[in-house]
Amino acid sequence: MQYQDKTVWITGASSGVGEGLARVFHREGANIIISARRAAELERVKASCTDGPGSIDVVPFDLIDAAERDAAAAEVLARYPRLDVLINNAGIGQRSLIMETSLDVDRRIMELDFFAPVALTKAVLPRMMEQGGGHLVVTSSVAGKHGMSHHSAYCAAKHALHGYYESLRIEMFSHDIKVCLLVIAGVRSNVHEHALLGDGSAYGHADWGADAGMSAEECAEQTIAAMQADEYEPVISIEAASQALRIKQDNPREFTERMHKVMQWMEGS
C-alpha cells in the first residue's frame, strides 16, 4: 500500500474524480478526509470505501464560503497532527459563449476554480512547512493549457492555477513540498451537468455518453502513479484531448481551426 498511514484531504469528493480519488487512496492505505457541500453524498462515498485499513472523515463545507472554509481547515489541522496530501479537486465547469456570459458568472467560476483552492492551500501550507514536507495536488485540465469555446472563464481559472502553483512549487522547493497539476480530460463525471450557463443556471446534461471516456478510478490510479514519480503536470486524458495539446504546441493556427469546428459541433451547426 503506497499511502499506508498517510493523511490525504480531498475536496470535491462527493462525485466524479474526487470520488474516484477517495476510493483509490483509501485502498492504498491512506487515512482520508473527504469534503464537498453535499454531506449525504459524502456519506455515500464513505460507505463505498471498503477496501482499505485507514480512517475516513467526512468534513462537509462550502469551499467559497470563507468562514466555512476556515472552520474546515481548523478542524482538519486540529484532528490530524500531520497532513501529507491536499488534493484541491473541487470546481465547476462552464457552457456559454463569452458574449452570453454575465460578469457575475465569470467571477463565480474564478472564485471556486481559482481563489478557493488558493485560500485552502494557504491555510494548510504552514503545517506542511512545519512538518518538513507534503504534496499539493490540483485538478486542472487541458483547459489550463489552451483555450476552448464555451469555456472562457473556466479556461482562465485553470490557466491561473498553473501560473500560481508553478510559482508555489519554486518557492516551496527547499521545504520538500511537492506540487502536482493534473492535466485532465475525458474523465467520466457529472461536471458537465453542473456546468454554468451564461445566466448562472446549470447546463443540466452531459455532452458525452454515459460510458464515454476514462473512469474516475482509472484517473485516480494514474494520479497516484504520477505523484509517486513526482511528476509536475501529468496528462491524464483521452487520446483526442492529448492530440489537441500536441497540435496547439506544434501548429497554433491548425489548433484554432479545429477547435472552431468543435464549437460549431457544440452549437449543432
- CA-closest candidate to residue 239, choices 201, 188, 185, 191: 185
Task: Count CB atoms within 10 A of the CB of residue 262.
Answer: 14
Listing from the earlier edge strand, what are the strands of the sheet with 56-58?
56-58, 31-35, 7-11, 85-88, 134-139, 177-185, 235-237
d(CA 148, CA 142): 9
d(CA 109, CA 126): 27
**157, 204 contact by CB (below 8 A):** no
**46, 93 contact by CB (below 8 A):** no
Catalytic annotation present for 154: yes
Q: Which of 3, 80, 154, 165 is catalytic?
A: 154
Catalytic residues: 154
